[in-house]
Amino acid sequence: MSAGVELDHVTVRFGHFTAVDNATLDIKGGEFFSFLGPSGCGKTTILRTVSGFLDPSEGSVRIGGQDMSGIGPNKRPTALIFQNLALFPLMTVADNITYGLRVRGVSRAERDRKAQELLDLIALPDQGKKLVSELSGGQNQRVAIARALAVQPKVLLLDEPLSALDLKLRQHMRNELRAIQKQVGITFIYITHDQGEALTMSDRIAVMSDGVIQQVADGKTVYDNPDTPFVASFVGENNPFIGKVSKADATGAVIETPFGPLRGRNPKNLKSGDKAILFVRPESFALGKGAPDATLTAETISSAFEGNATHVFLKGAAVKNITMTVGRHGGAKIPGPGDKATISYDPAMGVVLAEGKMARE
């Protein structure tokens, strides 16, 4: 039913431009796997390579253990859902859904039966005779999913299919996609630049930047234990403190920053003297003093009330401000603009990584 997808040292070049650089991955059968990265990071190129529209310049793609080189997109056990859906405007909803069966020579009666089955799955049982232009964006979204599922692919590839929808619908479709994936049990490979989508839906996420896979892990690991400064700064909000490691011990590392020495975990075993970046999440900060190497004082610039929390912006050392998020329940007094604020964090919630490229804001 489902099949795993293996990328074996896949490199894709366009002229002198390397879109995907030596990607090696093992996506398990039945997994909901996301590629997350900013636009131009090579995630769509990977998708097109898996679906067969592009050939890797080096390396190979295997689906269900079978090498796919030389096999065209119409012969692969994959189905692709396009960013703009690419439904056929001159066909009815039912004809769209069963087009893959029609080109395989399936009889009209069988196609009608299958169309009804899939229309029931996507909860549009009476819409088969309509044209796609008569349905709403969210409904077309589901039609595109049904059209892809109709050919019983072993792997479903999704290229940012939710990006055209409005926020509410997008959140609703996330749950729906996840539910459909659980129901049909096939491998989903999902491309997105929206970390919220990747974190909520995926079993595992590959974070990409400039054609290189930075980290492959489940959402919680990617968020809490980023491998590179790029992952730390791209997934979720994060506050970087750049400096040199002054002390490395069993519990972590201390780096010298313009705010004094600050401590964090040291998963990469950096040594004293290494250039490093400490990342602390906005929600890890609290007002008031803490451990001496996990406390800093800075000038408040402004604050923004957001209902369930308040974001406080403090003057950072470089261009970027420090952001801290204060929850509702503490009842803490929010410092006003110009006030000096002393804030601290649990050193276990900070992470020290070797200096490297960060995500652009």
Partner 1 sequence: MSSRLFVFILPVVVIAIFWAMARRESKLAHDPTHKSFFERNGTSLGIVFILLVAFWALFLVTLPYLYMVVESFHPKLPPAQRGGPTDVLTIAQYKSFFVNPIDNEVNGTHIYAFVFSILASVAVTALNFAICYPIAYYMAQAGTAQKVRLLMLGLIVPYWVNEILRAFALRLLLASKGLINQMLMGIGLTETPIDFLGNNTGLYVGLSYAYLLVMVFPLYNAIESLDKNQIEAARDLGAPWWKIHRDVVMPYAKPGIASGCTMVFMLSAGSLAAPQFLGGPSTLWFTSIVYDFFFQSFNWPRGAAYAFILLAACIAFVMLMLRLFKVSLGETIR
* Dihedral, 16, 78, 31, 83 alpha carbons, nearest 10: 60
Q: Given the rule CB under 8 A, which of 66-74, 313-321, 338-346, 349-357 is the region that contacts partner 1?
A: 66-74
Distance, CA of 31 to CA of 38 (rounded, Å)? 23
Q: Which of 92, 139, 225, 295 binds partner 1 (CB under 8 A)?
A: 92
Q: How far is the CB of 357 from partner 1 (least distance, A)?
A: 32
Distance, CA of 220 to CA of 205 (rounded, Å)? 10
The 10 Å Cβ neighbour count of residue 269 is 9
100 lies in the site for partner 1, by CB under 8 A: yes
Element (H, E) at 313: strand 309-314
Q: Given the rule CB under 8 A, which of 91-99, 174-182, 198-206, 325-333 is the region that contacts partner 1?
A: 91-99
Residue type, 169: L
Listed residue (56, 123, 119, 65) closest to 92, CA to CA: 119
Q: How far is the CB of 143 from partner 1 (least distance, A)?
A: 12
Q: How far is the CB of 220 from partner 1 (least distance, A)?
A: 33
Q: How far is the CB of 95 from partner 1 (least distance, A)?
A: 9
154 lies in the site for partner 1, by CB under 8 A: no
Q: Count of alpha carbons within 13 Å of 32, Cβ hemisphere only?
A: 21
CA dihedral sign of residues 97, 150, 196, 19? negative
C-alpha angle 212-215-219 in degrees, rounded to nearest 5? 135
# binding residues, partner 1 (CB under 8 A): 29
137 lies in the site for partner 1, by CB under 8 A: no
84 lies in the site for partner 1, by CB under 8 A: yes
108 lies in the site for partner 1, by CB under 8 A: no
Q: Which two tokens stand for residue 109?
A: 């009666």
45 lies in the site for partner 1, by CB under 8 A: no
Q: Which of 90, 109, 250, 319 binds partner 1 (CB under 8 A)?
A: 90
104 lies in the site for partner 1, by CB under 8 A: yes
Q: Which of 79, 149, 205, 352 binds partner 1 (CB under 8 A)?
A: 79
Compute the radius of gyration of the chain from its Cα atoms. 24
Q: Which residues, 6 or more positions from 89, have their beta carbon under 8 angstroms from its beta carbon?
A: 131, 132, 133
64 lies in the site for partner 1, by CB under 8 A: no
Nearer to partner 1 (CB atom), residue 43 or residue 281: 43
Q: How far is the CB of 151 from partner 1 (least distance, A)?
A: 6
Strands 155-159 and 187-192, sheet pairing:
parallel
**Contact positions vs partner 1 (CB under 8 A):** 51-53, 72-75, 78-80, 82-84, 86-92, 99-100, 102-104, 131, 147-148, 151
